[in-house]
Structure 1
Amino acid sequence: MKRLISAMLTALFLATAGCAVTPDQGLLDTNGASQLKLRQIQTRYFETSDKQKTLECVIATLQDLGFVIDKASLDLGSVTATKLSGYNLRMTVNVTPRGATQMTVRANAQYNASPVEDPLPYQSFFNALSKSMFLQAHLEE
């Protein structure tokens, strides 16, 4: 049993880096580089075709990070949540299909109605989401 748990945790940490794919880095040399850079920080692609399970993982991840879900729509593929612990951070996450085998997840964070350009909140969200997606995929097997 201990070996199984140890193997799963090892696989979790090794696979986390491979679950999400970042957009092409070559886009930064064009006009509007700051917008493209922000979009790269905000977007990840996941190897799944299940929009509902992806949204469920997004909701669970936001709740695990201390957010309160304000709105969620499967039809729109959108979740909006707020974190009120000493500051007002709002995050909207959109999930859209990308081909037949991937989902695009784009997070947009605002701090007191100003866009968040710091990559740290996005990295924290996507790291936690990658782990959640990995566990969801392997719990079903």
Structure 2
Amino acid sequence: MTKKLLLVATLSLLMTGCVAGIPKEALQLQAESLANRQMQTRVYETSEELKILAAGTALLQDLGFTLAESETKLGVVTGIKHRDARDAGQVTMAVFVALFGGGAMPIDKEQTMRVSLVTRPLEGKRIAVRVTFQRTVMNTHNQITTQEAIITPEVYTEFFDKLSKAIFLEAHQI
């Protein structure tokens, strides 16, 4: 009995010693995090959060996104969109590799765009809206080749310009 207890205790200590902790850098904010958050957020002078969510939902659908989740009490809307990710350069290279005996080379096939729109009430009849875009690219072997957040300022500027127009239309029931 004592040997079994000693064995269990030893194995427990060995197993807990193998558990890696969270690296310190994993919880550190990157220098560009604040700039990205500011780029992804706009404040609107209204207290009508539901109208902003309705306008945002309509805009996402107009942009070709399919709604994946919507929780108005939490101010969250998410959507996805599938698009072709084939690139002529990749296809040409794959053909040359195959012709010269290199076998079947995987090429990008499909990308999935994900969007999250989150609203947050602020003091003084204002609503903060944050939107984030991500994309995942799969190849012809169904492997992920790219997974990234989209941090192009023009994407967010264009989105918020369209959202402002959609909020105006929603407010005037047009």
Same fold (TM over 0.5): yes
Q: What is the CA distance between 1:36 and its match in structure 2?
A: 1.3
Please give the residue correspondences for 1:53-92 in structure 2 after superposition, counting only pairs within 5 Å.
53-86=51-84, 87-92=111-116
CA distance in structure 2 between the partners assigned to 1:70 and 1:32 by the alignment: 29
Q: What is the CA distance between 1:32 and its match in structure 2?
A: 4.6
- Structure with greater proportional helix content: 1
Alignment deviations for residues 13-62 of structure 1 (CA, whole Å, 9 cap, x no partner): xxxxxxxxxxxxxxxxxx95411111111000011101111110110010
Q: 1:103 aligns with which of 113, 123, 127?
A: 127
- The answer to whether the Cα contact below 8 Å between 1:62 and 1:125 also exists between their aligned partners in 2 is no
Q: What is the CA distance between 1:137 and its match in structure 2?
A: 2.2
Amino acid at match of 1:65: L
CA distance in structure 2 between the partners assigned to 1:129 and 1:90 by the alignment: 17
Unaligned runs of 5+ in 2: 1-28, 85-110, 137-146
CA distance in structure 1 between the partners assigned to 2:73 and 2:32 by the alignment: 31
Q: Where do 4+ consecutive residues of structure 1 move more than 6 Å?
A: none
Unaligned runs of 5+ in 1: 1-30
- TM value normalised by structure 2: 0.59
- TM value normalised by structure 1: 0.71
Amino acid at match of 2:170: Q
- The answer to whether the Cα contact below 8 Å between 1:43 and 1:104 also exists between their aligned partners in 2 is yes
CA RMSD of aligned residues (A): 1.7
Count of paired positions? 110
Q: 1:50 aligns with which of 42, 48, 51?
A: 48
